[in-house]
A and B are shown apart, each in its own frame.
Chain A
Amino acid sequence: GENVGLHLPTLSVQEGDNSIINCAYSNSASDYFIWYKQESGKGPQFIIDIRSNMDKRQGQRVTVLLNKTVKHLSLQIAATQPGDSAVYFCAEKGGGGKLIFGQGTELSVKP
């Protein structure tokens, strides 16, 4: 079946450092991946996406890397700020356009 998982459930970083959040997926046919940020009590917010024909995509302070060989996805956040503290989910587009979410990583930024 389809499954998207994360290696680390929690991540604590110092303000100003870079953060790397990892995700493993199992469906090698997946062609679209998204990273979401979810703050407590709120719905997920889109951060960045990547298609399978790319291995890297950059946004503002964020970079997503895709390694199709090992079915691994990562989100890098540069100069992490206290406002980045949240739970981060990777999601994979499944059949019918539905999104399948990974376990989530809770990022805590220490001032």
Chain B
Amino acid sequence: GAVVSQHPSRVICKSGTSVKIECRSLDFQATTMFWYRQFPKQSLMLMATSNEGSKATYEQGVEKDKFLINHASLTLSTLTVTSAHPEDSSFYICSARITGGGTEAFFGQGTRLTVV
């Protein structure tokens, strides 16, 4: 089956620094990837849709300058949390759809970000 890999799986950073999270489709091409965040005991909240070669589309209330998304190739999207603060601590999850494929989205294993 299609595999999506996220890196790192866990990261701890100091307040004010930036953190980059990678999302890779290992065995397929993904024109579109999605980024979610999830707080404990809560659902996944869509942050943005990442489109290869173009700007990401952000959901209402998500700061695009805070959460920078780059989708430079058909197998890699990155999310950079800039000037991270403790309230940015969360579980970040990406998903990817096969280019030209169906509707099914394949999820990465998530990245646990802790800002201290």
Binding site for B on A (CB under 8 A): 32, 34, 36, 41-46, 49, 89, 93, 96-104
Q: Check A43–B107 contact: CB distance below 8 A.
A: yes
Q: Which one of A36, A43, A98, A102 lies within 8 Å of B46 (CB-CB)?
A: A98
Q: Is the interface of B mostly helix, strand, loop or mixed?
A: strand
Q: 15 A-B Cβ contacts within 8 A?
A: A41-B91, A41-B110, A43-B107, A43-B108, A89-B43, A96-B49, A96-B57, A97-B97, A98-B34, A98-B49, A99-B46, A101-B46, A103-B43, A104-B42, A104-B43
By CB atoms of chain B within 10 A, which of A43, A49, A101, A102 has the most?
A43
Total chain B interface residues with beta-carbon distance under 8 A: 25
Closest chain A CB from B109 CB (angstroms): 5
Closest to B112 in A: A41
